[in-house]
Amino acid sequence: MKSPARSLDSLRLCRGNFTRLVQRVLPESLFGRLALLLVVAVISSHVLALTLMFELSPFPPPPLQSPTAGLAGPGGMPPPHGPPGLFQVGLLMDISVRLLALLLAAWVGARWLSEPVRKLASAAKELGRDIHRAPMVEEGTLECREATRVFNQMHARIREQMVQRDQFVAAVSHDLRTPLTRLSLRVQSLPDPLVRQRFGRDIVEMNEMIRTTLDYLRGMTDPEPMVLLDVGSLLHSLAEDAQDSAQDVQVLGSLAAAPLLVQPLALRRCLGNLIDNAVRYGKKARISLQDKPEQLQISVCDDGSGIAEEELAKVLTPFYRLESSRNRHTGGVGLGLATASNIAHKHGGSLTLANHPAGGLVATLRMQRRITHG
């Protein structure tokens, strides 16, 4: 007697063999499969309709008669068989069965057509979240396999281009920092302290601009793992670090929230950019958190002059800076908010800006909660 495990393995093996046999018998192209489906539907509907007509008929068919028999009726014609409306009922039954069969065939055909589209759409969505995902399995009809092959080739080219971009960014970073380091050493030998201070400030600013720009161009392509994080503790840590630097950063209300599945370093960079932006342009930052079942909402408010309504969306784009921020005291290259927005989108969330009715700017980060399966 076979054990249940062996019986289950045998059943899976038989099902796999049957699936492979069906795939060999079916036509390769989608047109061939749809044509075969319609032929089977028409023949099946015809057989089923005739079977129902003869099985459900309340009157038996007329007996076989000789050519001379059955002439006793009036006018020499055989007596009529069944009631007058039987033919109309049979015709209606035949049409109904054929229509149902064609509708069923259309439903199956629509699933055949939409299934590869759904798989490609799901793969494209996952590709946006994880560029290092495994390639799609080439299966299905000839057209589906060809589309999957092209998608995998595109995926491979994108990954290759991103590797080349990282190599280029690393090379540019080295080439730019080397002369800056030499320039910084030479500045130390200047006799005038005021000139030395001005040159040093310019070098620091240039170094920060290079670092910020190259970090953004690198695009954070390193696959940082997703972990459950206490976002409230992260916000407390960022606020304390800012306060240690003599920045006016405060927490409003409770920051208690259920753990959220995120990339910790990326989220820290996102929130740090929002706080730095509020302090730089609004003199202070006020942080609040709202924990909801479907999402986590973090708001960072400042006391600045706000932003014109038509500029709210533009400042989230890379390298865009308001004219009022183009001075030495504010600095920056227009990448802080763009980087924060990019990180929010990679987490399936969003970053929005709005002017507070009492004055200042409110940056709201919304992070969707993802369902994890244990």
CA 20 to chain CA centroid, nearest Å: 32
Q: Does residue 274 lie within any of the structural domains? A: yes
Which pLDDT belongs to residue 275? 93
Of 41-50, 277-286, 313-322, which gets the smallest average pLDDT?
A: 41-50
Same domain for 206 and 235: no
Q: Which of 90-94, 264-268, 341-345 has the lowest mean pLDDT?
A: 90-94
In a domain, 76, yes or no: no
How many Cα atoms occupy the beta-carbon half-sphere of 276 within 13 Å?
Answer: 16
- The helix (H) or strand (E) run that includes residue 295 is strand 295-301
- Note whether residue 142 is domain-resident: no
pLDDT band at 72; cut points 50, 70, 90: very low
Residues near 152 by beta carbon (within 8 Å), at least 6 away in sequence: 135, 136, 138
Residues 260 and 299 in one domain: yes
Query: Is the same domain home to 277 and 312?
Result: yes
In this structure, the answer to whether residues 48 and 176 fall within a common structural domain is no
> Residues 68-97: what's their mean pLDDT?
56
Range of the domain at 187: 160-218
Rounded to whole angstroms, how far apart are CA atoms 128 and 345? 10
- Per-residue confidence (pLDDT) for residue 132, from 0 to 100: 77
Q: Is residue 81 part of a domain?
A: no
Euclidean distance between CA atoms 194 and 155, whole angstroms: 54
Residue type, 198: R
Q: What is the pLDDT of residues 93-122, one digit of tens each?
A: 777 777 787 778 777 777 777 788 888 888
Q: Is 362 found in the same domain as 269?
A: yes
CA distance 259 to 228: 5
The pLDDT of residue 37: 74
Domain of 194, CATH number, reads 1.10.287.130
Shared domain for 260 and 208, answered yes or no, is no
236 and 355 co-located in one domain: yes
- Judge whether residue 219 has pLDDT over 70: no
Q: Is residue 80 part of a domain?
A: no
Clarify whether residues 357 and 258 are in a common domain. Answer: yes
Residue 293: helix, strand or coil by DSSP? Answer: coil
208 and 233 fall within a common domain: no
Query: pLDDT by residue (tens digit) across 165-204?
Result: 777 777 777 777 788 888 888 888 888 888 888 888 888 8
Same domain, 277 and 343: yes
**Strands 227-229 and 350-355: what pairing?**
unpaired
Rounded to the nearest angstrom, the gap between the alpha carbon of residue 305 and the centroid of all alpha carbons in its chain is 36
In the chain, the N- to C-terminal Cα span, in Å, equals: 36
Task: Report helix, strand or coil for 226.
Answer: coil
- Whether residue 121 lies inside any domain: the answer is yes
Q: Please enumerate in sequence order all residues whose Cβ is within 8 A of that of 88, keeping only pairs 6 or more positions apart, or say none.
A: none
pTM (two decimals): 0.54
Residue 373 lies in a domain: no
Verify that 252 and 355 share a domain, yes or no.
yes
- And the tokens for 328? 């030495």
CATH code, 335: 3.30.565.10
* Domain membership flag for residue 41: yes
Domain count of the fold of the chain: 3
> Which residues are CB-contacts of 109 (< 8 A; sequence separation ≥ 6)?
34, 37, 38
